[in-house]
């Protein structure tokens, strides 16, 4: 390599770095200003006595907000429900996503149509999905209740009769189950897409070999498919889990935390405290409890995903 060429390469490399910062700069400035700054403010806010009426941070009140919110019974219910809803949703999602991916990994007629139908729950904005379910689970006019009456689960002589209605959102257990069902419904398409991407990357030879060896459907599933899918299943859990954990729209619109405060979740409680209650400090303190859980899940899942890739 002669000197002129080397000089040319060096100048290009130099240029690259400069161009790199120019192209990256705007995104970094935006992310620092609108995610970095609020992130720091979120922490500062939780130690301050700021309110909606007086939103600037003037006085720091130490751990006052945290001590106050921990002593609220709604906070503990919210924490418990947030964890319960997230874990149960993820458990159901993993099973359903694995099954659905196995179905979609095969060619069949009208695949496009089926894919379009399957993706509906995720395409719907979450608030609109919650409204659709609110009507689906209506205490008086739920079509599910009508179906259950037809098959004699409800109504006179039914297993859960003689009541004509389940009152899905009126009882704590059923209301939580409804919130979980809506979360599963909404997140399943996203989980399926992530897992399907991983499933299609598994070399076909592995399956051919298993078939030659005479391995059955379940043997292939548990010996080949699921181990190979572990990294993407973790990515799916990470994605959907954090979306479920951080969501407040479903609880807000479906149950408003009721009956009583029995279906309260952390993000909605933070919203009620901070915006409806006007106490920004207390709201920020509640919201900050999302942080350690989110970080723990993210670090654990990413670490695990990378490690199992290397094996």
Partner 1 sequence: MARILRTGSFYLGLFLCSLFAIFPGIWMVISIFKKSSDLYSTGHNPFLYHPGPTLSHAIYLFTQTHFPTFVLNSAIIGGCVVGITILLAVPAAYALARLTGHWGERSGMVLFLVYLIPPSLLFLPMYQLVSFLGLANTIWGLAIVYPTITVPFCTWLLLGFFRSVPRELDEAAMIDGCSRFRAFLRIVLPLTLPGIAACIVFAFSLQLSDYIYAATFVTSSSAMTISFGVPTELIRGDVFFWQGLMAADAVVSIPLMLAYGLLFDKLVAGFQSAETAAAGG
DSSP string, 4-72: HHHHHHHHHHHHHHHHHHHHHHHHHHHHIIIIIHHHHHHHHHHTB---SSS-S---B-TTHHHHHHHT-
First to last CA, the chain: 40
Please tell me whether residue 164 binds partner 1 under the rule CB under 8 A. Answer: yes
- The tokens describing 104, both together, are 């979609």
Place of tokens 């939780």: 46
Considering only residues 247-286, where is the footprint of partner 1 by CB under 8 A? 247-249, 252-253, 266-267, 270-271, 274-275, 280, 283-284
Out of 245, 255, 257, 261, the only residue in the binding site for partner 1 (CB under 8 A) is 245
Considering only residues 178-217, where is the footprint of partner 1 by CB under 8 A? 185, 188-189, 193-194, 196-198, 200-201, 217
Part of the chain binding partner 1 (CB under 8 A), chosen from 48-56, 65-73, 166-174, 204-212? 48-56
Considering only residues 4-43, where is the footprint of partner 1 by CB under 8 A? 12, 15-17, 19-21, 23-24, 26-28, 30-31, 34-35, 37-39, 41-42
Separation between Cα atoms, residue 121 and residue 91, nearest integer Å: 18
Instruction: Tell me how crowded residue 291 is: count the other CB atoms within 10 A of its CB.
Output: 13
Out of 79, 90, 129, 237, the only residue in the binding site for partner 1 (CB under 8 A) is 129
Out of 47, 133, 148, 166, the only residue in the binding site for partner 1 (CB under 8 A) is 133
Please tell me whether residue 100 binds partner 1 under the rule CB under 8 A. Answer: yes
Out of 232, 233, 237, 251, the only residue in the binding site for partner 1 (CB under 8 A) is 232
Q: Are the C-beta atoms of 71 and 52 separated by less than 8 Å?
A: no
Instruction: Write down the least CB distance from residue 188 to partner 1, Å.
Output: 7
Out of 143, 156, 227, 260, the only residue in the binding site for partner 1 (CB under 8 A) is 143
Q: Which is nearer to partner 1, 176 or 269 (CB)?
A: 269
Instruction: Write down the least CB distance from residue 265 to partner 1, Å.
Output: 9
Instruction: Tell me how crowded residue 75 is: count the other CB atoms within 10 A of its CB.
Output: 22
Rg (CA), the chain: 25
SS3 256: coil
């Amino acid at each position: 390599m002669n000197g002129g060429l080397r000089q040319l390469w060096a100048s290009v490399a130099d240029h690259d770095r400069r161009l790199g910062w120019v192209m990256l700069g705007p995104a970094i400035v935006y992310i620092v200003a609108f995610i970095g700054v609020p992130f720091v403010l979120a922490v500062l806010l939780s130690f301050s006595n700021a309110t909606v009426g007086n939103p600037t941070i003037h006085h720091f009140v130490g751990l006052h907000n945290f001590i106050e919110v921990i002593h609220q019974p709604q906070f503990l219910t919210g924490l418990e429900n947030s964890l319960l809803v997230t874990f149960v949703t993820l458990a159901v999602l993993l099973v359903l996503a694995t099954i659905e991916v196995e179905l979609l990994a095969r060619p069949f007629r009208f695949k496009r149509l089926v894919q379009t139908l399957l993706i509906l729950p995720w395409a719907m904005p979450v608030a609109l999905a919650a409204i659709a379910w609110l009507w689906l689970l209506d205490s008086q006019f739920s079509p599910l209740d009508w179906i259950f009456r037809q098959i004699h689960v409800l109504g006179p002589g039914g297993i859960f009769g003689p009541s004509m209605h389940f009152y899905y959102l009126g009882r704590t257990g059923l209301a939580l189950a409804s919130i979980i069902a809506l979360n599963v419904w909404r997140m399943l398409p996203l989980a399926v897409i992530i897992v399907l991407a991983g499933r299609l990357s598994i070399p076909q030879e592995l399956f051919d070999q298993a078939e030659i060896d005479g391995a059955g459907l379940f043997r292939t599933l548990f010996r080949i498919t699921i181990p190979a899918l572990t990294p993407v299943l973790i990515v799916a859990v990470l994605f959907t889990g954090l979306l479920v954990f951080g969501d407040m729209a479903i609880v807000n619109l479906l149950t408003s935390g009721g009956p009583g405060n029995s279906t309260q979740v952390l993000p909605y409680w933070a919203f009620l405290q901070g915006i409806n209650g006007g106490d920004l400090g207390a709201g920020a303190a509640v919201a900050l409890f999302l942080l350690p859980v989110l970080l723990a899940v993210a670090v654990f899942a990413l670490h695990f995903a990378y490690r199992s890739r290397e094996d």
